[in-house]
Amino acid sequence: MRYLSFVFITLLALTSAKAQTYEIGPYLGGANYIGDVGSTSYIDPNEVFYGVVFKWNRSKRHSFRFTLAQTELSATDADSDEGRRSQRGLSFSNNLTEASLGIEYTFWDWDLFSNKPQYTPYLYTGLTGIYTNDLYLDPEGELVEEDNKFSASIPMVIGFKMRIAPHFVLATEIGARMSFSDNLDGSTPEEFDGGKKLPSFGNQNTNDWYMFTGLTLTYTFGRKPCYCNF
């Protein structure tokens, strides 16, 4: 939590900058995991995520966006409709912190200095770094934690936002994250000291995914922009 507080304070200090239009605010919602353990439903939030979002509106159609979020991914085979998973009976939980930087593209012009109502669907993608625990299956059939590790994911987000007051924007969005790891659930552990290969399970040909479904409420500030071709 202290890392999120540090980033929020740092971004808030940017209010003194005399350029373009910025947005900053909380990011909150539900998260769920998609992989080799538990339910196979794509949108099924079962854990809370929280974080902060910062945007630099670079034109009427796109903005650079940074988010930092924290959650706990968890799943249990008892929630699965697949008979083999239900009989296997595995479950896991894994803390995850992600930092994401990318571009948000709006379907319609987004001009916060206009007197007209402002609302638009949008898409977001970029590159996300994730920090998680490494898991593995012990001889008793229990998933246990090993070391922490860094990995990455690609966010694919669709949302809708609207200005609800002169300086406030409310947005709702659904976003899938395709991770570069197949071990968020402990199904594909790495080799540890001694070169002993730990047991794996599930589909080894696909990586793990996770979903964020939530809201942002941002405060807008900065002088009226002079947009350029960038």
pLDDT in tens, 177-218: 999 999 999 888 874 544 556 778 888 889 999 999 999 999
Predicted local distance difference test score (pLDDT) of residue 3: 47
Going by pLDDT thresholds of 50, 70 and 90, the confidence category of residue 225 is low
Alpha carbons 179 and 127: distance in angstroms, whole number = 10
Tens digit of pLDDT for each residue in 44-74? 999 999 999 999 999 999 999 999 999 999 9
**Domains identified in the chain, total number:** 1
Residue 228 lies in a domain: no
**Residue 74 within a domain:** yes
Q: What percent of the chain has pLDDT over 90?
A: 58
pTM: 0.83
pLDDT, mean of residues 78-101? 91
pLDDT top residue among 20 and 158: 158
The yes-or-no verdict on residue 14 having pLDDT over 50 is no
Phi, psi of 81 (to 5 degrees): -85, -5
**pLDDT at position 213:** 98
pLDDT tens figures, 93-148: 999 999 999 999 999 999 888 888 999 999 999 999 999 998 888 777 778 888 88
The C-alpha atoms of residue 178 and residue 175 are separated, in whole angstroms, by 10
What CATH number corresponds to the domain at position 57?
2.40.160.20
Asked if the structure places residue 136 within a domain, the reply is yes
Domain membership flag for residue 198: yes
Residue 17 lies in a domain: yes
The answer to whether residue 226 sits within a structural domain is no
Which pair of tokens denotes residue 151?
């990995």
Q: 230 in a domain, yes or no?
A: no
What pLDDT does 226 receive? 56
Tell me the C-alpha to C-alpha distance, in Å, between residue 20 and each of 17, 112, 228.
Answer: 9, 11, 10
Q: Which domain holds residue 61?
A: 2-221
Residue 122 DSSP one-character state: E
**155 — pLDDT class (breaks 50, 70, 90):** very high
Q: Is residue 200 included in any domain, yes or no?
A: yes
What 3-8 contacts at long range (C-beta under 8 Å, 24+ apart), as own/partner pairs, is: 3/68, 3/97, 4/50, 4/51, 4/52, 4/68, 4/70, 7/52, 7/68, 8/52
